[in-house]
Amino acid sequence: MAVTLSLVAGLGLGDASYKYVAEYYRKDKKQGAQFAAVIIWSATIFATVLFVALWLSRSLWVSWIFPATTNDAIVGLCLCLAWTNLIFALLIGVFSGLQRFREFAIMNLLQATAVAGFVLVLGFYGSEGALLAYVGGSSLCLVWGAIKLWLTDGTIFSWPGWNAFTKLKTILRFSAPIWVGAFALTPVITFAFAFLARQPNGQEQLGIFNTANGLRMLVTILPGVISVAITPALIEEGGALGDHRAYSQLLEKAFSSLIFLTIPLLILSLFLSDLLFLVYGKAYGEAFRLFMPLTASAAIAAIGMPIVTVMMAKNRTWISLGFGIIKSVVLVALSLLLMPRYLGWGLVWAFFFSEIGYYVLAVEFCERTGAVSSFFRRAFYLSCLGVGLILALSMYLPAVVRWAAALPLTLASLFFLLRGKSETGNWIAQLAPVKLRPGTQRLMRLITS
């Protein structure tokens, strides 16, 4: 309930705070701080008024949402938690846009630690105690984040003046499709899961699918770190005040780095997948077969991550929403067509083709509008072919051959992908933590030489 309310009241402004701070702050500090102030004040005032109105009118709607035994304390704590979640999203967005990744990480870790600490003390008091622990932990985190942000640039919290709120139209034009997508597209996945569960033997198949789907994100961990680091810079250089040449170079480096980090991880994950799934026991051991195509589609999504950032930087969020709707329609159509006969495998292939289809549409659109180069488009499709080849080998090679080839093929891919690309290797080394940077630089020089 609290999560849903924070999404409703947020209007997609958490993503907007990230986008506009990243786009303007380093190029025009005054304008970037003004955008941040408009977003923070607008979201805070709107959410506060909305949640106070919901509290005062709770007798009209509580019975439709909560069980009959729910008391006013739980309702009030849910509203407070929704408010803290919304403000947390805004502060996280601003820290990300400022490229203050240390504060971004500390704030996330502090929230988790504070909530856990309060739960140990208040968890004995049932639902009220658990909710109070979440509200208390999140509030503590917000105080730290607000103080840190004030010390960084206090003008972000200053009243921007009534004239500055004319920017709100531009901001909402960007954030509205993100807000709509959160409600329109997420239920489609729930429908696909529910449809599988209703099939004969569907509950067991859904359990196997969820086991495989939960582990597929292994292949996106390192690419995800690169994406977090590079997204604000791409938005900055691809935005209204950016340098087109710097943007193109940065996009090419980011894309090459994602390929370099994703393909070797994919080889290890797929070739050793049956060994990986031994930890789940015999009942779910066969989930590794579903894991293979799911992980391959996740790898393509990881490689294509910059295209999502490009559409954000170029204010193409409505187009992105349209592609998301097409992706959802494809997912539903393939689920209805394949699941009655193939059960879990049908859902796997529905996810596979719908996810890849989204990135194909996005790449084609961005290449035709000049947002990405023909090099990016060609490299993306070559990467897709490479992922497809790795998937085919992992699915049809005998297990012993896969196990024996996993490490040599992974090492070979590392050298092949970075051979002769010293500039990209140096750039990857600079993204490593300071203490690991010298060793990473030596490794990159060895691979690229």
Distances (CA, A) of 401 to 51, 146, 395, 407: 60, 55, 12, 11
Q: What is the pLDDT of residue 424?
A: 66
Look at residue 30 and tell me if it is in a domain. yes
Q: Which residue has the tokens 């990016």?
A: 376
Going by C-beta distance under 8 Å and a sequence separation of 6 or more, which residues neighbour residue 440?
A: 428, 429, 432
Contacts 24+ apart (CB under 8 A), 226-231: 226/254, 226/257, 226/258, 226/261, 226/428, 226/431, 227/254, 227/258, 227/302, 227/305, 227/306, 227/309, 228/96, 228/101, 229/101, 229/431, 230/254, 230/257, 230/306, 230/309, 231/22, 231/96, 231/309
pLDDT tens-digit series, residues 245-293 = 888 888 888 888 888 889 989 999 899 888 888 777 766 667 788 889 9
Examine the domain organization and report whether 283 and 334 are in the same domain.
yes
pLDDT average, residue stretch 213-230: 81
pLDDT tier at 423 (50, 70, 90 boundaries)?
Answer: low
Share of the chain above pLDDT 90, in %: 24
Examine the domain organization and report whether 252 and 278 are in the same domain.
yes
Share of the chain above pLDDT 70, in %: 92
55 with 79: CB under 8 angstroms? yes
Examine the domain organization and report whether 192 and 168 are in the same domain.
no
Phi, psi of 71 (to 5 degrees): -95, 170
Query: Which domain-ending residue is among 147, 172, 197?
Result: 172
Examine the domain organization and report whether 32 and 162 are in the same domain.
yes
Give burial (CB, 10 Å; 0-12/13-18/19+) of 151: exposed
Going by C-beta distance under 8 Å and a sequence separation of 6 or more, which residues neighbour residue 310?
A: 234, 238, 251, 366, 371, 372
Q: What is the pLDDT of residue 154?
A: 86
Number of domains in the chain: 2
Examine the domain organization and report whether 290 and 383 are in the same domain.
yes
Give burial (CB, 10 Å; 0-12/13-18/19+) of 300: buried
Examine the domain organization and report whether 214 and 126 are in the same domain.
no
Look at residue 228 and tell me if it is in a domain. yes
Using the predicted structure, report yes or no on whether residue 193 has a pLDDT greater than 90: no
Look at residue 158 and tell me if it is in a domain. yes
The b/e string for 154-187 (b: 16+ C-beta within 10 A; e otherwise) is eebeeebeeeeeebbeebeebbbbbbbbeeeeee
d(CA 27, CA 296): 38
Q: What is the pLDDT of residue 181?
A: 81
Look at residue 436 and tell me if it is in a domain. no
Examine the domain organization and report whether 17 and 165 are in the same domain.
yes
Q: What is the pLDDT of residue 146?
A: 92
Q: What is the pLDDT of residue 240?
A: 78
Look at residue 435 and tell me if it is in a domain. no
Q: What is the pLDDT of residue 101?
A: 83
Examine the domain organization and report whether 159 and 195 are in the same domain.
no
Examine the domain organization and report whether 98 and 216 are in the same domain.
no
Pick the most confident of 210-224, 277-291, 321-335: 321-335
Give burial (CB, 10 Å; 0-12/13-18/19+) of 16: buried
Q: What is the mean pLDDT of the chain?
A: 85
pLDDT average, residue stretch 148-163: 89
Look at residue 125 and tell me if it is in a domain. yes
Look at residue 430 and tell me if it is in a domain. no
Examine the domain organization and report whether 195 and 164 are in the same domain.
no
pLDDT average, residue stretch 95-117: 88
Using the predicted structure, report yes or no on whether residue 2 has a pLDDT greater than 60: no
pLDDT average, residue stretch 171-178: 88
Q: Which domain holds residue 147?
A: 2-172
Q: What is the pLDDT of residue 144?
A: 93
Examine the domain organization and report whether 410 and 266 are in the same domain.
yes
Angle between helices 287-303 and 374-396 in degrees, nearest 10: 170
Examine the domain organization and report whether 356 and 391 are in the same domain.
yes
User: Could you tell me the pTM of the whole model?
Assistant: 0.84
Q: What is the pLDDT of residue 332?
A: 92
Q: What is the pLDDT of residue 266?
A: 92
54 with 42: CB under 8 angstroms? no
d(CA 243, CA 240): 9
d(CA 301, CA 320): 14
d(CA 250, CA 424): 10
d(CA 164, CA 74): 38
- Mean pLDDT is lowest, of 41-55, 192-206, 378-392, for 192-206
Using the predicted structure, report yes or no on whether residue 142 has a pLDDT greater than 70: yes
Pick the most confident of 67-71, 368-372, 439-443: 368-372
pLDDT tier at 427 (50, 70, 90 boundaries)?
Answer: low
Chain Cα centroid distance, residue 152: 26
pLDDT tier at 195 (50, 70, 90 boundaries)?
Answer: confident
Q: Nearest CA to 87 among 43, 127, 121?
A: 43
Look at residue 432 and tell me if it is in a domain. no
pLDDT tens-digit series, residues 333-385 = 999 999 888 888 999 999 999 999 999 999 999 999 888 888 889 989 999 99
Q: What is the pLDDT of residue 419?
A: 73
